[in-house]
A and B are shown apart, each in its own frame.
Chain A
Amino acid sequence: MTPPAPYKPDPRGEFPQTPVDFAMHLCSSMALMRETALDHGLKPMGLSISRYRVLGVLVWFGSCRMTDVANLTAMDRTSLTRIADHLVRSGLVQRTANAKDRRQVYLDITEAGREAYRAALSVVLAYNAKILDGIPESIQREAARTLKIMAANLAPNAAARDGIIHYATASSGAVGVEG
């Protein structure tokens, strides 16, 4: 299997390019296909996969600062602000001020937001189960250990690393499902 330039071949010939480059190509392709499919599946609920992720954090962790939500979702602040604005306009999330520090803004889920999340969760979990169908749990576990190393290598700081790998913040335990 000789890949077109500039790709370098897999020395063992198992994959069309080196394992490192091919792994990242597949991660990226798989994630894009999943986001597209879930954006489509969640559209009737007025949600997207990004909005679902933010709701998930607020369901599991309660009131959160934008920084906490960013650390738990790997989203950049610009996208997160746009998503939060949309969720607030839709009545699924509200902004509240910290009683001790009025400049500190928290995001809080509303009852309508909880209902939307519950409905969306079943769509996301069903899709997850479908695309992992036939893959033994032992393989998933081994992959999760490998992906944890990659996520740790990428996380911009310790809080983001803990947010993604342990789905936890400094003041919480690991809980729930992001999906």
Chain B
Amino acid sequence: MKATAQPRVTSTDETGEFPFAPNDYVLHLLAAIVMYRDASLDLELKPLGLSIGRFRALSILVRCGPCTMTEMSAYSATDRTTLTRVADHLVAEGLVKRIGAAQDRRRVLLELTEAGHTRHAEAFAVIADCNRRIAAGTPETALRSTIRMLTAIIGNQTNSEATRASLLRFERV
């Protein structure tokens, strides 16, 4: 690489332990971990006809039961256009079906089919195996502390109690 003048350093760790300030470094590492994990899982899930995006959609329906597209979009932080494409694929595969809500037939919900439950369980085995490889060598106390930090971050990211309940407690409010 050619040498060029360096601009002002805007995020530094005064202790020198990390290349940036701890807050920016944590987010840098998280972004990289998720990009590498998603790329790896897209390949590993392909034999099951899934991608990580499709798996996430199935997971929301497992955790929360039937959901509207608006709820799915909020819980997965996925835009409606992408989510519609994912949902259409899952419906075409017979893993998800569209149903009318009991109280309002015009309100369309997505619901997992039996085949969807089975496919999700098969995919989760792949995911869990990948998760174990990623977390190998991390002490459990440190992992629990990291989870508490991630919980606090997500709490800061959304004001929606429904989104927090879905992501943090696997609950529907």
Contact = CB atoms under 8 A, between A and B. Distances in A.
Contacts of B35: 73-76
A98 B149 CA distance: 45
Contact of A27 (B2, B22, B127, B150): B150
Nearest to A28: B34
Given A4-B62, A26-B167, A142 B142 contact: yes
A135 B145 contact: no
Interface of chain A: mostly helix, strand, loop or mixed = helix
Contact of A140 (B22, B142, B158): B22
B146 A7 contact: no
Nearest to A132: B23
Contacts of B149: 135, 139-140, 143
Nearest to B35: A74
A35 B37 CA distance: 15
Interface string A98-117: 00000000100000001000
Contact of B77 (A23, A36, A178, A179): A36
Q: Shortest 10 CB-CB distances between A and B: which pairs?
A: A62-B4, A177-B11, A26-B150, A74-B32, A31-B34, A147-B29, A174-B19, A32-B77, A154-B36, A140-B22
Interface of B: 1-4, 6-7, 9-11, 17-40, 56, 62-63, 76-79, 120-121, 124-125, 127-128, 131-140, 142-154, 156-158, 167-170
